[in-house]
């Protein structure tokens, strides 16, 4: 999770919502990502999506069935769906997301037995560090005038 937090710090430095993710297989990071939605102007450029794509490219396989995904914030519905489709067996996340969480908070996509795969979820790992980074980011963003933010 410490490596996911380092990815979240990269996002923070780039003025992106500070979420970071890493995919680990056999104790080795094979994919990493941080939010890049603003920089790429891509609504799918979430940390999890970037890390999953990097891991799939590394393995040359769409299935990440021997991997663990670590992410600093509970995945949204899009990312939770990608985690299921990639057959990730274990998801470890930091903070719960009360506005978009899809691994137990608002939705439970990762545990939905109607889907072709379910995910073992471990929550609350390094949650305080993740929450502090998010609070620092949104505190900073709220002090920037709206005109400058949207320019």
The residues that are catalytic are 48
Does this model's pTM top 0.95?
no
Render each residue's pLDDT in the chain as its tens digit; 151 residues.
999 999 999 999 999 999 999 999 999 999 999 999 999 999 999 999 999 999 999 999 999 999 999 999 999 999 999 999 999 999 999 999 999 999 999 999 999 999 999 999 999 999 999 999 999 999 987 776 654 444 4
Contacts of 72 (CB under 8 A, 6+ apart): 1, 4, 5, 7, 8, 18, 19, 20, 21, 47, 93, 94, 95, 126, 129, 130, 133
Could you tell me whether strands 20-25 and 67-73 are parallel, antiparallel, or unpaired per DSSP bridges? Answer: antiparallel
Two tokens at 123?
A: 């929550």
């Amino acid at each position: 999770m410490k490596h996911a937090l380092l990815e979240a710090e990269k996002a923070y430095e780039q003025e992106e919502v500070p979420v970071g993710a890493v995919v680990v297989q056999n104790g080795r990071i094979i994919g990493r990502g941080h939010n890049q939605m603003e920089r790429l102007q891509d609504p799918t450029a979430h940390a999890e999506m970037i890390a999953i794509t990097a891991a799939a490219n590394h393995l040359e396989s769409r299935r990440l069935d021997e991997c663990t995904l670590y992410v600093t914030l509970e995945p949204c519905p899009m990312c939770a769906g990608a985690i299921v489709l990639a057959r990730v067996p274990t998801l470890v996340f930091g903070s719960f997301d009360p506005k978009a969480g899809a691994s137990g908070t608002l939705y439970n996509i990762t545990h939905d037995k109607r889907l072709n795969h379910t995910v073992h979820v471990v929550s609350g790992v390094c949650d305080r560090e993740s929450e502090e980074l998010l609070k620092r980011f949104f505190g900073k963003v709220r002090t920037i005038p709206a005109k400058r933010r949207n320019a």
